[in-house]
Structure 1
Amino acid sequence: MKLKLLGLAFAFITAVQGVSAVVNQTTPVALAPQAQEARAAHVAAALLSRYHYKAMPLDEALSGRIFDQYLKTLDPEKTFFVQSDIDQLAKRRTKLGSDMVKDDLSAPFAIFNLYIKRATERLTYARTLLKTGFDFQKSESYQFSRQKQAWPKDEAEVRELWRKRVKSDWLRLRLAGKDDKSVIEVLDKRYATMLKRMARINNEDAFQTYMNAYTMAIEPHTNYMAPRAAADFDISMSLSLVGIGAILTELDDYTTIRELVPGGPASLSGQLSMGDRILGVAQGESGPMIDIMGNRLDDSVAMIRGALDTVVRLDVLPAGAGPDGKHKLVTLVRKPISLKEQEAKSSVQEVPDGKLTRKIGVITLPSFYEDFAAKQRGDTAYKSASRDVALQIEELKSKKVDSILVDLRNNGGGSLTEAVSLTGLFIGKGPVVQVRNANGRVELEQSTQANAVWNGPLGVLINRSSASASEIFAAAIQDYGRGMIIGEPSFGKGTVQTMVDLDRMVDNKKPQFGELKMTIAQFFRINGGTTQLRGVTPDISFPSSFDAGEFGESSFDNALAWTQIKAASYTPKADLKRLFPALVAQHDERIKNDKDFQYLLEDIAQFNAQRKRNEVSLNEAERRKERATLEARLAARKPATDSGKGAQKDAVSDPLLRDDGLQANERNLATELADEKARKNDKDIFLMEAVHILADEVGLRGSSLKLAARAKTAPSLTE
């Protein structure tokens, strides 16, 4: 969540979207704090100092940590500020807290304005380098990660860093086949886009960035959300919004339709298509048409969304039409949009086993969503992860699956209530997780589900990005011996957050202050341990490309420590440990003979080695030699019968060979969407191996449990 909250202010660093290369290169107008922002900071500080699980006084020590976190957020790679800037800014390092209590945000805004100034200077300098070109025969290298390095000592050093960065960007495009003229066009447009994004940063961006530096200086999972970010968070939890049903992106200064949501007003109208550009937005049947050309994407989206059953009119330039092409006026009525792509889904994978075929049901759950608002207003059909999974289980049972695999990879969590309810679908009634608040009081969260919906063999697939509610579910399944945990060690987030509406705290009639996602408790497994810091350790492990020191809870220097409490009273469902030696042996034997899995191991090793080197050569001959080596390695993977035609699509080929040197939205939209679709259809090696492991388990356990599971009828979910 942390990067999502901070991304708007400096997203240009990693995910630039294309716009016109003609921009104003002057330093943007300095930002100044608004009265409501200073007041919101004061209210947030009062709450955090008193009610946070790790409550800390807003003293000089915390002020220093806020300062450090703020700089880390603004300039994580240390390529904008120089040491003299840091020395100058550090004069207020220990005063940020006392200033906040006095409703004074002048210091953080001054820091932010200097950041904008320096970023503008660096990007303007980057454009000048394109006029002279580079010597690619010279032996030098580019360090792509500088987080652990010192600040550049002076202007000469920071310019040298940018020279190498631009040279690296140029070489990537050159290796991808672009001539120098095309390279200059792409990079000039890219850096111009970054400059334009800097010029569009506003007060809300600056304030939200600073407030997140404050919250994360206390503990990694407490965040501040400005009103617009809070609304987006609500959408992500409820999987619904009111709008026209179009996924928008920003391309060449246009708000562009990337995809249409099936069943939404935009799709049903038949008037809009992928690639159409929205030039203006008008409210109602007669409201004035407002030009949105060059707008920030979030501003355009806010204008297009609106209240249920209201009219929005769009001035549209059709896809493929030139800048002077004929426009069309599209009138739509806003309706509820369900984000079905993010719902739980299921499929059936078949695994041959001698004369038998094992059927493994796979349920993919992207998040633990729950429509809080609908639930609170008494809507009995409110949207939730556990309800959707229960429906998927019923469908899989009708297909007579032998086992079920719940895929929680990249599931960052969500509702604690949903984690408990989902666990109940597989264990029935019983304790799921223990929650300890700041006062040390421990409460036991229990499933009230009368009977399990699925009693058959079960597996849970996790990776390093499986966090929070995912870890609660996986840990409970493991502690009960209810199913096997397969994959990588999980993230290690063992804390509980609640949403605090700051406007409600002070009776604001309209949203002004935003919301806090504040850590109020820590959760513990029913066995007394915690997933905090250490995560959930799989029963059968897969290789990982993540470094625990760089990603996951252990990468935070202020994460809560691992600890344990008294175990809850619970009765394990089974002892699966007796099966693990045989399953691991079968797994090891299978992957030893599985070329795709072995290729994946090679690629992970290559990736880890490259990351540890933390540099790439800027010598063209050396890079082409590296590329040739990689191409030869991939060519050797083709089946002997391939004869060079229609080569087997390699789902795990080294990304360096697919690197076109472009950034987000610099590619053709249709091509990018086609590539995304192809990647989704690539063979999922980890998923298929997890499926085979569950098929092995079914064979080891025999048919008695399988038959019992099929005969079981599903009770209704407990409300």
Structure 2
Amino acid sequence: MRIQYGFLCMFLAIAPSAYALETGSPPVLAPLEQQAQAAHLSAQFLTRFHYKPVPLDDALSARIMNRFIKSLDPDRVLFLKADIDKFMADSAKIDDAINREDLQIPFTIFNVYEQRVVDRMNYARSLLKQGFDFSVQEDYSLLRDKEPWPQSEAESNELWRKRVKSDWLRLKLAGKADAAIRDTLDKRYENSLERAYKYKSDDVFQSFMDAYTTSVDPHTDYFGATASAEFDISMKLSLVGIGAVLQERDDYTTIRELVPGGPAQLSGKLAVGDRITGVGQGENGAIKEVVGTRLDEIVQMIRGAKDSIVRLDILPADAGPDGKHRLISLVRDKISLEKQAAQKTILSVKDGDATRKIGVITLPAFYEDFEARRKGDKDYRSASRDVAKLLVELKQDNVDGVLVDLRNNGGGSLSEAIDLTGLFVGKGPVVQQRDAGGKVNVESDDLPVPAWTGPVGVLINRGSASASEIFAAAIQDYGRGVIIGEPSFGKGTVQTVVNLDQVAHNIKPKFGELKLTVAQFFRVNGGTTQLRGVTPDISLPGLSDPKSFGEASYDNALPWTQVKPANYAPDGDIKALLPQLQSRHDARIKNDPDFQRFVEDIGELKAQREKKVISLNETERRSEMTAQAKRLKSREQINDGVDTGEDDGLQANERSLSADIAIEKARKNAKDVLLNEAAAILADEADLQAGGQR
């Protein structure tokens, strides 16, 4: 088994772009013997070693069935009621099927799903040949996850007529001409149609195992070979490849970004927008054409052993489809994913005539190179080690306080959360763990002296989970610093990763890995972050919808509970400062136009989110657009990262690459209203701790 860790992550299925449409029905997919064996072995682990074992019985079978169907058709726009009735007739048979290593049920459902996608996309494309009347009063339901399944093909056709009409109207309102709208939507639906021809048995199995594991608990997962490799990369922040971010666009695998210092960037042979049309291995390996090949497959072809050669057939960014290609050779090397590592910035906060320097450490994840650490590498990469180096630099910069930004940090290594806490608290208990048998262990850090003893702040949001919550909770319980933001996710469980191939003594990997919940963690004060998360000392508005995002949104989350407090001694009294920090914060944001505009934008965003239906009447929609434009025009424009502006009706891969990059750059350069206010709160903390009065 691997080292235990707290982890929250969502592995999204890759959605490949289009290629030349194959004729006939989509391929009929069938389970592999090794997949059925992996499912059975996973079931044995889940029923014996999970923190709260859930028996694989008829009741769990029904939950697995419902989750699997929902993962395929969450908006209930593909399957018919007759399909669902047929599927549910087998809902109590999944447990028996797993035990006898038979996965025919989920594969049969998926094959119907493929056919429904083909049927619906062909129908959607046929609608583009006619026009739409936007003067009639019609509505389209945006939220269909709880709506009845279509009873007939005619009812499904009516649903899709409105859906296509809605897509058309969005583009029309954005100023697109009918011919351009028709081309855009035809390409969009064709891409979805062609995707049905690219699915493989691994995709079906991964989706089914996702449904099974998350039916046991929200944070138990199955990793197939691809998902396992991506998890390893995310934890050690490195891989061996050429250092290029790839994206599928218009049938081609396109260079989206070059990693600084990577082979691709150093060679000078590749540019953003270049398209990869073929890949060859070694100096003389045959070039395999990859136009239309799935992105994940191309990525695996380009990655490889360090110092090995990969050859790429490139169609330059400025060349037409029949343009001249060039063949390049690159030597694979270790690529460090620095964008996902801890980073520091310094913000200057003015307060009257005084200016305070606040060091901000942004930590996207609690990463740790498990393998390097296990091998005894003294220089292994980890979050706490990187932060320790940044703290040394911030000391040299003479900052007045350190703000740790954990927004959207979903967790990672449990040991890293403990070590990071030690950098600010020093030696002492950090978190308590209770295993399946009820035994409680106190996990402590042994750093004799904190690396930073000055004012501390922690910025969290709904996306701060697991290891982030351990750190924030410990800082709060020790009174070491002020917690700022919105209530965190509420994940209070610990997982471990089991390599199923090692368990089965397989010589070659074929079973994948199982991440299962084995313990629950508790704060040193005895409480838990489970369900409730960490409640900030100073609240800031948030963008997320707590009804649909967070531990409390899961129907099978573990309940909140508590244990005895650990033997710890708070080393600060931040609570005494909270009333003054709150009053200063309230007074500041009241007169801060940027903050008030941000609050207004969030309100508008939430109002849009709560809309369950949208009008398909052009006059009504244009009136809504006019009102929105007037609202935005009546105030000074700022880019606060909340997108409430005009809708261009396009999906990401339908814009030009330059337009996509420009949007990404604008978001990156947006004024971070919440970060600026959190820095101001920490500056207040530094002032009050220095004896400042107003």
- Scaled to the shorter chain, the TM-score interval is over 0.9
Match of 1:644 in 2: none
Of 63, 70, 80, the match for 2:68 = 70
Contact 1:532 1:553 in 2 (8 A): yes
1:267 to 265, 268, 280: 265
Structure 2: distance between partners of 1:24 and 1:526: 59
- Structure 1 residues 367 and 242, CA gap change in structure 2 (3 angstroms): same
1:651 partner letter = D
Instruction: Point out the more displaced range, 469-478 or 65-74.
Output: 65-74
Match of 2:170 in 1: 172
Q: 1:195, 1:377 → 2: CA distance?
A: 47
Give distance in 1, aligned partners of 2:61 and 2:520: 25
- How far the C-alpha of 1:608 sits from its partner, in A, is 1.7
Give 1:326 shift: 1.1
Q: Is 2:336 the partner of 1:334?
A: no
Q: 2:110 aligns with which of 109, 112, 132?
A: 112
* Partner Cα separation in structure 1 for residue 12 and residue 101 of structure 2: 22
Q: Distance in 2 between matches of 1:352 and 1:109?
A: 62
Check the 8 A contact 1:18/1:190 in 2, yes or no. Answer: no
Structure 1 residues 563 and 216, CA, compared in 2 at 3 Å: closer, same or farther? same
- Tell me which amino acid in the other structure corresponds to 1:448: D
* Corresponding letter in the other structure for 2:677: E
Name the counterpart of 1:659: 647
Residue number in structure 2 paired with 1:7: 13
Note the alpha carbon deviations across 1:73-107, whole angstroms, 9 max, x for none: 11111111121111111111001011111011111
**Where does residue 676 of structure 1 map in the other structure?**
664
Contact (CA 8 Å) 2:240, 2:333: kept in 1 or not? yes
For 1:564, which of 562, 565, 569 is the aligned residue?
Answer: 562
Q: What residue in structure 2 maps to residue 645 of structure 1?
A: none
- 1:25 Cα deviation (Å)? 5.8
Unmatched segments (≥5 aa) in structure 1? 12-16, 639-647, 705-719
Aligned to 1:320: 318
Q: Which amino acid aligns with 1:455?
A: T
- Residues 433-444 of structure 1: pairs in structure 2 closer than 5 A: 433-444=431-442
Alignment match of 1:650 (pick from 639, 660, 667): 639
Residue 11 of structure 2 aligns to a residue in which SS? helix
Q: Give the conservation status (yes or no) of the 8 Å contact 2:18–2:195.
A: no
- In the alignment, the residues of structure 2 paired with residue 95 and residue 514 of structure 1 have an alpha-carbon distance, to the nearest angstrom, of 24
In the other structure, the counterpart of 2:4 is: none
For residues 242-270 of structure 1, what are the alpha-carbon distances to aligned partners after superposition, in whole Å with 9 as ceiling and x for unaligned?
00001111111111111100000111111
2:309 to 301, 308, 311: 311
CA deviation string 1:557-578 (max 9, x = no partner): 0010111111111001112112
Aligned counterpart, 1:602: 600
Residues 109-139 of structure 1: CA deviation (Å, up to 9, x unaligned): 1011111111221111111111112111111
Q: Match of 1:687, as an amino acid?
A: L
Matched length: 686
| Matched AA of 1:343 | A
What's the CA shift string for 1:642-676, capped at 9, x where partnerless? xxxxxx44325643x23211112111112211221
Structure 1 residue 535 displacement after superposition: 0.5
List aligned pairs for 1:32-47, cutoff 5 A.
32-47=30-45
Provide the rounded CA distance (Å) in 2 between the counterparts of 1:365 and 1:3: 15
Q: 1:714 aligns to what?
A: none
Rounded Cα–Cα distance in structure 1 between residues aligned with 2:457 and 2:202: 44
- CA separation in 1, counterparts of 2:156 and 2:520? 43
**2:429 match:** 431
Moved more, 135-144 or 278-287: 135-144
Corresponding residue of 2:419? 421
1:620 matched residue in structure 2? 618
Q: Is the 8 A contact 1:245 1:264 kept in 2?
A: yes
Give the match's secondary structure for 2:196.
Answer: helix
CA contact (8 A) 2:641 2:672 kept: no
For residues 294 and 517 of structure 1, what CA distance do their matches in structure 2 show?
A: 33
Residue type of the alignment partner of 1:278: I
1:27, 1:191 → 2: CA distance?
16
Measured in 2, the distance between the counterparts of 1:502 and 1:361 equals 44
Aligned counterparts of 1:454 and 1:281: Cα–Cα separation in 2: 49
Pairing 1:700–2:681 present: no
1: CA distance, partners of 2:436 / 2:668 = 43
SS at match of 2:359: strand
Match of 1:686 in 2: 674
For residue 601 of structure 1, report the CA deviation from its aligned partner: 1.3
Structure 2: how far apart are the matches of 1:547 and 1:258? 31
Name the amino acid aligned to 1:354.
G
Structure 2 counterpart of 1:87: 85
SS of the aligned residue for 1:665 comes to: helix
Once the two structures are TM-superposed, the CA of residue 151 in structure 1 deviates from its matched residue by: 2.0
DSSP 3-state at the match of 1:367: coil
2:26 alignment partner in structure 1: 28
**Map of 1:290 onto structure 2:** 288
- Matches for 1:161-240 after TM superposition, within 5 Å: 161-240=159-238
Match of 1:253 in 2: 251
1:526-605 superposed matches below 5 A: 526-605=524-603
Provide the rounded CA distance (Å) in 1 between the counterparts of 2:665 and 2:544: 25
CA-based RMSD of the aligned residues comes to 1.4
- In structure 2, how many angstroms separate the alpha carbons of the residues matched to 1:481 and 1:4? 33
3-state SS of paired residue (1:268): helix
1:276 aligns with 2:264: no
Give the partner amino acid of 1:620.
E
Query: Mean Cα displacement is larger for which, 300-309 or 675-684?
Result: 675-684
Question: More deviation in 113-122 or 453-462?
Answer: 113-122
**CA distance in 2 between partners of 1:228 and 1:472 (Å):** 29
With over 3 angstroms needed to count, the CA separation of the structure-2 counterparts of 1:74 and 1:261, relative to structure 1, is same
User: What TM-score results when the alignment is normalised by the length of structure 1?
Assistant: 0.94
Q: What one-letter code is carried by the residue in structure 1 that aligns with 2:406?
A: L
Report what 2:46 is aligned to. Answer: 48
One-letter code of the match for 1:275?
G
Deviations 1:591-620 (A, max 9, x none): 111111111111221222222232221111
CA distance in 1: counterparts of 2:158 and 2:501, whole angstroms: 47
- Return the alpha-carbon distance in structure 1 between the equivalents of residues 415 and 363 of structure 2: 15
Report % sequence identity: 58
Measured in 2, the distance between the counterparts of 1:214 and 1:395 equals: 47
